[in-house]
Amino acid sequence: MYVTHLECPKCELTYESEQPIQLCTCGAPLLVGYDLDRVRDSLSKEVLASRKPTLWRYRELLPIRKDENILSLGESMTPVLPLGRLGPEVGMPHLWMKDEGLLPTGTFKARGAAVGVSRARELGIKVLAMPTNGNAGAAWAAYCAAAGIRAVIVMPADSPAINRKECIIAGASLYLVNGRISDAGKIIREAVDRFGWYDASTLKEPYRIEGKKTMGLELLEQFNWQAPDVIVYPTGGGVGIIGIYKALKELRTMGWIGEKLPRLVAVQSTGCAPIVKAWQENRKESQFWENAHTIAFGLTVPHALGDFLVLEAVRETNGCAVAVADEDILKAQQMLAQKEGTFVCPEGAATLSAAMKLAKEGWITPQEQIVLLNTGTGLKYAETVHSDPPLLQPGDRL
């Protein structure tokens, strides 16, 4: 393993990594540090190219000590699809979509869970607890089942019904709360303190982000280590974009990519846009968003623990933060399905909507390489599609 330590990005305190640990004493999330010189010396792009097409190919940049602790439900490299029919129509001839809907449990959350639960198992965890908007809980419940770890999950009562069922069938201890993910978080915090469970809330353990990081590693490898110009990412808790940014910085330190990083765009819904508001007001942290509501349920995070890291990623890459309306999200979802055949989640569709807005404003130019991140399959969001097809009787004619 090439992990050297854990580090607080806020107060710069460091910790050793062989004990279960949650936040820094200052309250900020901890990040995993690697000996990147040693990684560079032991791994070449050629060796990497010959490995199996799963996220575990980035073994040297992942925090698992022993292979036997690796849990896998088949986290294949997700495709980067050229949007050849849609792109030119919306002023972006070089438009791509990385489709995370093809991961186990149907969302990018599988990356964080695969690495997070593998590491939890390695650290001897028996029970872990977390609040969730749905998809993260479903992914962690699945990997916990495979690991034999008990998962205790609290999710908002109005989160998608499918997520509930995924937790239940995997044997998790599931509770609903008549409120938002922030309310679920408070209940988990109290229980964790009382029972001594491992807190797997977003960024409260350092390893989920390492799984998400592989989105960035994979994307860059798929682009032959030539960074695209812009990466557009839907931002709820923000771990995805933080992870991609961390991947980019590690690859740059290793000399595997050039100095110039892709501009990172954080996309939120106008119904819950704390990061966008902070960005517009040039703040380093966000404020709690009251009465959050959007059809892109994964974006309903009124206050993200990692907000300052998201804002740093956007700022340091000359990116930006954009909010889009639910009705535009649904239109974008339909455009992707009808032109490209992909049924994406509303969070993913939001990235198309945001990119179109940026292209219209000239922030994105036609010669640029743009990558949208679709974070999950539309199959988990059946309620976003209305269908009322004609009903025939046997023997009828079309």
Which tokens belong to 108?
Answer: 């990018």
Q: Does 302 bind a second copy (CB under 8 A)?
A: no
# residues near a second copy by CB under 8 A = 77
* CA–CA separation, 211 and 56 (whole Å): 9
Q: Interface residues for a second copy in 312-341 (CB under 8 A)?
A: 333-334, 337-341
As measured in angstroms, the least distance from the Cβ of 336 to a second copy is: 9
- Residue 307: how many CB atoms within 10 A of its CB? 22
Residues in region 34-63 near a second copy by CB under 8 A? 53-54
Nearer to a second copy, 141 or 321 (CB): 141
Q: Which is nearer to a second copy, 174 or 231 (CB)?
A: 174
Please select the residue that binds a second copy; options are 1, 48, 81, 325, rule is CB under 8 A. Answer: 81
The least CB distance from residue 1 to a second copy, in Å, is 23
Tokens of 50: 């010959």
Span 367-386, contacts to a second copy by CB under 8 A: 377-380, 382, 385-386
- Position 85 contacts a second copy (CB under 8 A): yes
The contacts of residue 258 (CB under 8 Å, 6+ apart) are 227, 252
Sequence-distant (≥ 6) Cβ neighbours of residue 129 within 8 angstroms: 151, 152, 153, 154, 188, 191, 192, 197, 198, 199, 200, 201
187 binds a second copy (CB under 8 A): yes
Determine if 99 is a binding residue for a second copy (CB under 8 A).
yes
169 forms part of the interface with a second copy (CB under 8 A): yes
32 DSSP β-pair partners = 6
Q: How many CB atoms lie within 10 A of CB 126?
A: 11
Contact between 76 and a second copy (CB under 8 A)? yes
By CB under 8 A, tell whether 176 contacts a second copy: yes
**Stretch near a second copy under the rule CB under 8 A, chosen from 16-24, 183-191, 234-242, 262-270:** 183-191
Q: Which lies closer to a second copy via its Cβ, residue 13 or residue 161?
A: 161
Cα distances (angstroms) measured from residue 255 to each of 4, 36, 203, 225, 265: 19, 10, 27, 10, 24
Residue 268 CA to residue 294 CA, distance in Å, equals 9
How far apart CA 372 and CA 354 sit, in angstroms, is 10
**Residue 3 Cβ vs a second copy, minimum distance, rounded to whole Å:** 25
Nearer to a second copy, 166 or 205 (CB): 166
